[in-house]
Amino acid sequence: MLAVGETKQRSCQGISRRSLVQAGFLGALGLSTLGHASVAAAAQRPKSIILLWLWGGPPHLDTFDPKPDAPSEWRGPYRTIGTNVPGIQVTELLPKLAKRADQYSIIRTLHHGTTDHGLAGSIALTGRTPENGRVHPHGGAIVSRLRGSSSPLSSFIVMGERLHQGHRAIQGEGGGALGAVYDPFRIKYDPEQGVLLGETTPPKDVTAQRVERRRQILAQGRTASPEIAHRDGQALDRFYNQAFSLMTSGEGRQVFNLEKEPSRLRDVYGRHRFGQSCLLARRLVEAGVPFVQVNWSMHVEAEEDAGDGGWDNHYRNFEMLADRQAWPFDQACSALLDDLKQRGMLQDTLVVAMGEFGRSPKINAMAGRDHWQSCYSAILAGGGVRGGRVVGASDDRGEYPASRPVTPADLCTTMLDCVGVTRSDVLALDLPVEGEVIHELF
């Protein structure tokens, strides 16, 4: 099932998409970022990225960096189990991923300088701290700008709600300094309603003829307005043409139809929101979308996620992990790796699972773990990453890096490098470059 919603965004140049609608250039279609410019030729089989964004900060000691010899106030109640790679251990909460450790590598020494959800999210998604009001683009926006999409779909898609801290939206989820035309196209999966495509379905009273008339009005507006005509004209042209094409033909929309997948495979991913979103991510990269982000969410009701993020376990950490977090992540991530591998897509698809920071190694008085930015974990698979490796080691209590510290800038640079975006490419966009490729992964 496909449903309709709306978004409102504002570009760096000060023209909101809502104002374009009011001016008559966009009509009443509520378009967002469907389709972007491609300024680089696609390779024979261009690589894609699937980012599993575990918003809220998963506890590294209770997932990929267990400390079985630490005091009980640190190690927690869960057992440490071996994986199918000798010497690599995870916790018992991840039995499926333990059997697939040869498919992914673990970074155990990510770190940065803030415990604030919002700022940490911006740093993790962009590799940089916002400076003087200038927000660095999300990696997906950079890929979108340089790669575009080989399908009628957007080149940067995010599944799930917008990230927020209280009532404040998180910076770094979109085009940033590149402009709002490179913001992601956002969709959602609801277990009751199916896939929600809020920005590509015209209202029921808008016929194909009316869509075509609005295309013509848009073209006239682009010609009549020097401001619009001057600003990244080719990007806007492709953006609107792909959007109109998708709405009128419906061919690209078929990728969102999960009913085309075998029921058994949908069960393997899990019928929860995160599982079906991961399955949809596979369908999207298979259709040529170069960057897909899946924001963590399991249940239908938003209040069932804790705090500002679904992994923000300041209290009842161990209960939340066992009941709501670890098993659906373990199920869906394992299914995604298996599915990509069986389809011959894993070498061409980089899968990254991470949050904005970890959780405090020492358990607090409420049986929870607090924010911890000094050392945390992420996993990477596919895209040329060699499985069965661990990069870096934390100290005996998982508090600080003991060897090979890694920054979010290093990880972002590595992700871009995996899909053929070089430092020179980024510098050519007048963007600063920080971080180095994590060569131990390859």
207-219 pLDDT, tens digit each: 656 655 665 665 6
List, for residues 314-325, the tens digit of each pLDDT value: 999 999 999 999
208 in a domain, yes or no? no
Half-sphere exposure at residue 203, Cβ-oriented, CA atoms within 13 angstroms: 8
Examine the pLDDT at 261 and tell me if it is beyond 60: yes
For 331, the token pair is 């199920």
pLDDT category at 221 given cuts 50, 70, 90 is low
CA atoms of 236 and 219, how far apart (whole Å) = 11
Helix (H) or strand (E) holding 48: strand 48-53
8-state DSSP, 168: E
Better-scored residue on pLDDT, 99 or 162: 99
List, for residues 42-72, the tens digit of each pLDDT value: 334 569 999 999 999 999 999 999 999 999 9
pLDDT at 6: 40
List, for residues 137-189, the tens digit of each pLDDT value: 999 999 999 987 666 778 999 998 888 887 788 899 999 999 999 999 999 88
* Residues 6+ away with beta carbon under 8 Å from 45: 348
pLDDT at 32: 35
pLDDT at 169: 84
Better-scored residue on pLDDT, 73 or 225: 73
| Of 348, 288, 293, 294, residue with least CA distance to 149 | 288
Rg of the chain (C-alpha set): 21
Better-scored residue on pLDDT, 402 or 27: 402
pLDDT at 197: 78
CA atoms of 166 and 173, how far apart (whole Å) = 16
**Could you give phi then psi for residue 123, rounded to 5 degrees?**
-65, -45
Number of folded domains in the chain? 1
8-state DSSP, 325: I
pLDDT category at 22 given cuts 50, 70, 90 is very low
Listing DSSP states for 265-311 in one string gives HHHHH-SSHHHHHHHHHHHHHHTT-SEEEEE---SSSGGGS-TTSTT
Provide, rounded to the nearest whole percent, the portion of the chain with pLDDT above 70.
Answer: 74
Pairing status of strand 393-394 against strand 401-403: antiparallel
Mean pLDDT of the chain: 83
List, for residues 265-299, the tens digit of each pLDDT value: 999 999 999 999 999 999 999 999 999 999 997 65
410 in a domain, yes or no? yes
8-state DSSP, 416: H
| Of 177, 195, 244, residue with least CA distance to 30 | 244
For 406, the token pair is 């890694």
264 in a domain, yes or no? yes
- pTM score, whole prediction: 0.83
273 in a domain, yes or no? yes
List, for residues 358-408, the tens digit of each pLDDT value: 999 999 999 999 999 999 999 999 999 999 999 999 999 999 999 999 999
**Could you give phi then psi for residue 295, rounded to 5 degrees?**
-80, 135
pLDDT at 303: 41
2 in a domain, yes or no? no
Whether 244 and 35 have beta carbons less than 8 Å apart is answered as no
CA atoms of 231 and 267, how far apart (whole Å) = 46
20 to each of 225, 235, 413, how far by Cα in Å? Answer: 11, 16, 35
Helix (H) or strand (E) holding 389: strand 389-391
Helix (H) or strand (E) holding 239: helix 233-249
389 in a domain, yes or no? yes
20 in a domain, yes or no? no
Whether 96 and 338 have beta carbons less than 8 Å apart is answered as no
Examine the pLDDT at 85 and tell me if it is beyond 80: yes
Residue type for position 433: V
Examine the pLDDT at 28 and tell me if it is beyond 50: no
Better-scored residue on pLDDT, 420 or 301: 420
121 in a domain, yes or no? yes
The CATH number that applies at residue 398 is: 3.40.720.10
Range of the domain at 110: 48-196+247-441
Beta bridge partners of 196: 3, 188
Burial of 166 (0-12, 13-18, 19+ CB in 10 A): exposed
Examine the pLDDT at 198 and tell me if it is beyond 70: no
| Of 11, 17, 289, residue with least CA distance to 135 | 11
pLDDT at 310: 87
